[in-house]
A and B are shown apart, each in its own frame.
Chain A
């Protein structure tokens, strides 16, 4: 593996390898010395053209736990505002010694562009490109789901996939790179995905995707899913009215307290709730649901560090 750009072309074997390495990286997080010398003397640059809290600090923590040096680049306050191009920025980082570039960009395909051109020879990790993909988020979700799935079945998660798991992904699929990356990866790992969204927030051509579509959250929950993933309503990407009001969105597609108690009533004690963050409490998820024992949001965040350690380790060790 030279780059990690998407989960669409990630093979089952590679996906399982990343998850298995993550398992060992997560174990390091429980030790007193949370550090490994594996990438000592290597430099990782995070190149963020969009704001982010968890993804950037997660990559930074991952690189530091592997003893790599980290250069953080944020477009705001940089020479990008003076008109510097992506190519020049990336080449500058490489000239400083970056061997891996973690890039987040508002344009779909920016990470591919960096990887496929001869601008830089560093390994490229896509940390979210426009509405295209966010592969490490999907991997950390899959890792969280696998931990849960293995616990429910009483098996060791290492080497297992998500065969037979039903995952419902709810919300703004149209703008969500998380939804796309998750669909491809969960499908590769054998899980069944149902998208639930208002018709206006589903992309054109979704009929050809390997998933079930529903417009009714209660109907989808009635099928007894093993996990429900709530997506953030991405107000910053919505330049038109996609739904009549936030109150109506919340009532029809939000995971509120009533839906939380409905899960209990149906005896679905093993159903977990995921959210990639940041959460709009009261909009797509109620505070009651977000803080319930079913919610694994913080587990997702800590798994994120382990997944990113695994990815950086696999990209930067060995010959390429």
Chain B
């Protein structure tokens, strides 16, 4: 067994884990979502993609690159931003205190824009609830949509995604782990995949 083999996931995750989306699956899914976003918006006018740290931001960048490829008039700088939701979370009293990440809003602001929030996994919906609160403090978008790579269910709030990479029915005891080359390099080997760990 060669531990440097990037296809061999068992070296970095537990024995009970299984890969549900490989790197190329993610690429395909993001291309589809990028086109869905253009379609839903009837073009790229007034479009802003806001990634939620940590993994939502690189996903928003990847989506932005695809949208820019489909429409060369798009300026990537004014299309993609980052929205930190740490200070808007409802669990700040519990767990360890988190260090907020920077919020970067494109220069044109959010007023009257069509904002697409981008995150890796949609689970309880609490992160998105926090993101909606954070958005309200920064501007007044015309429409807010939600794009996620994986929807694993178990919502605790009335929130649903407009664009979903993969609907993934899970048990509460399972963990969904999204690993991207931008954020989760291990031993210098780029990984891009979605794995499910644990479960009964």
1/0 per position for A1-36, CB-CB distance to B under 8 A? 000000000000000010011011001000111011
CA distance A20 to B101 in the complex (A): 9
Alpha-carbon gap, A211 to B37, bound state (A):
59
Using Cβ atoms and an 8 Å threshold, which residues of chain A touch B96? Answer: 318-319
- Asked if A317 is an interface residue, CB under 8 A from chain B, the answer is yes
Do A318 and B94 have beta carbons less than 8 Å apart?
yes
Shortest distance in angstroms between A313's beta carbon and chain B's nearest beta carbon? 7
Residue contact B137 to A35, C-beta cutoff 8 Å: yes
Interface presence of B138 (CB below 8 A)? yes
Say whether A31 contacts B138, CB under 8 Å: yes
Which of B93, B95, B101 is the one whose CB lies under 8 Å from A24? Answer: B101
Complex alpha-carbon distance, A33 and B140, angstroms: 12
Q: Which 5 A-B residue pairings sit nearest by Cβ, starting from the closest?
A: A318-B97, A317-B97, A36-B87, A317-B92, A24-B100
Q: CB of A37 within 8 A of chain B?
A: yes
In the complex the two chains form, is B103's CB within 8 Å of A37's CB? Answer: no
Q: 17 A-B contacts, Cβ less than 8 Å apart?
A: A21-B99, A21-B100, A24-B99, A24-B101, A24-B102, A31-B137, A33-B138, A36-B88, A37-B87, A66-B87, A313-B87, A317-B93, A317-B98, A318-B93, A318-B97, A319-B94, A319-B95
Is residue B84 within 8 Å, beta carbon to beta carbon, of the partner chain? yes
Query: Is A20 a contact partner of B133 (Cβ separation < 8 A)?
Result: no
The secondary-structure label for the interface of chain B is loop
Contacts of B98 in A (CB 8 A): 317
**Interchain CB contact (< 8 A) of B102 among A27, A39, A319:** A27
Closest Cβ–Cβ distance, residue B111 to chain A (whole Å): 10
Q: How far is the CA of A38 from the CA of B134 in the complex (A)?
A: 11
Q: Are B138 and A313 in contact (CB under 8 A)?
A: no
The residues of A that contact B138 with a CB separation of less than 8 Å are: 31-33
A208-229, CB < 8 A from B: none
**Binary contact track A132-164/B, C-beta < 8 Å → 1, others 0:** 000000000000000000000000001000000
Residue of A nearest to B84 (CB): A24
Closest Cβ of chain A to B156, distance in Å, is 19
Note all chain B residues with C-beta closer than 8 A to A36. Answer: 87-88, 137
Are A17 and B99 CB-contacts (below 8 A) given A31-B138, A33-B138, A37-B133? yes
B25-43 interface mask toward A, CB cutoff 8 Å, 1 = contact, 0 = none?
Answer: 0000000000000000000
- B24 CB to closest chain A CB, in angstroms? 33
Q: Which A residue sits closest to B105, measured CB to CB?
A: A31
Contact with B along A296-320 (1 / 0, CB 8 A): 0000000000000000011001110
Give the CA-CA distance A38 to B99 in the complex, in Å. 12
Closest CB-CB distance, B84 to chain A, in whole Å? 7
Bound: A38/B103 CA distance, A: 16
Complex Cα gap A36–B87 (Å): 6
CA distance A32 to B136 in the complex (A): 11
Query: B residues within 8 A CB of A314?
Result: 97
- Residues of chain B with a CB closer than 8 A to A39's CB: 92
* A306 CB → nearest B CB, Å: 12
Cα-based distance from A297 to B95 in the complex (angstroms): 37
| CB–CB A37/B99 < 8 A | no
Which chain B residues lie closer than 8 Å to A37 at the CB level?
87-88, 133
Closest residue of chain B to A34 (Cβ to Cβ) is B137
Contacts of B100 in A (CB 8 A): 21, 24
Q: How far is the CA of A21 from the CA of B86 in the complex (A)?
A: 11
Complex contacts, B94 vs chain A, CB 8 Å: 318-319
Known: A24-B84, A31-B138, A318-B94. 4 other contacts (CB 8 A): A21-B100, A23-B102, A37-B88, A313-B97
* Alpha-carbon distance between A179 and B191 when the two chains are bound, in angstroms: 49
Contact flags (1/0) for A167-194 with B, using CB distance below 8 Å?
Answer: 0000000000000000000000000000
Note all chain A residues with C-beta closer than 8 A to B93.
317-319
State A32–B111 Cα separation when bound (angstroms): 12
Complex interface: chain B residues within 8 A of A17 (CB): 99
Alpha-carbon distance between A20 and B86 when the two chains are bound, in angstroms: 14
Contact across chains for A38 and B92 when beta carbons are under 8 A apart:
yes
Of all chain B residues, which has the CB nearest A21?
Answer: B99
Query: Judging by beta carbons under 8 Å apart, are A318 and B88 in contact?
Result: no
Write the chain B residue with the least CB distance to A37.
B88
- Expressed in whole angstroms, the Cα–Cα distance for A193 and B95 within the complex equals 38
Interchain nearest-CB distance for A309 vs B (Å): 10
CA distance A314 to B98 in the complex (A): 8
The answer to whether B87 touches A38 (Cβ under 8 A) is: yes
Separation of A283 and B98 alpha carbons in the complex (Å): 44
Within 8 A of A (CB), among B30-77: none
**Alpha-carbon distance between A37 and B94 when the two chains are bound, in angstroms:** 15
* Residues in B neighbouring A318, C-beta threshold 8 A: 92-97
Residue with the highest number of chain A CB atoms closer than 10 Å, among B87, B92, B137: B87
Tell me if A33 and B84 are in contact (CB < 8 A). no
CB neighbours (8 Å) of A66 from chain B are 87
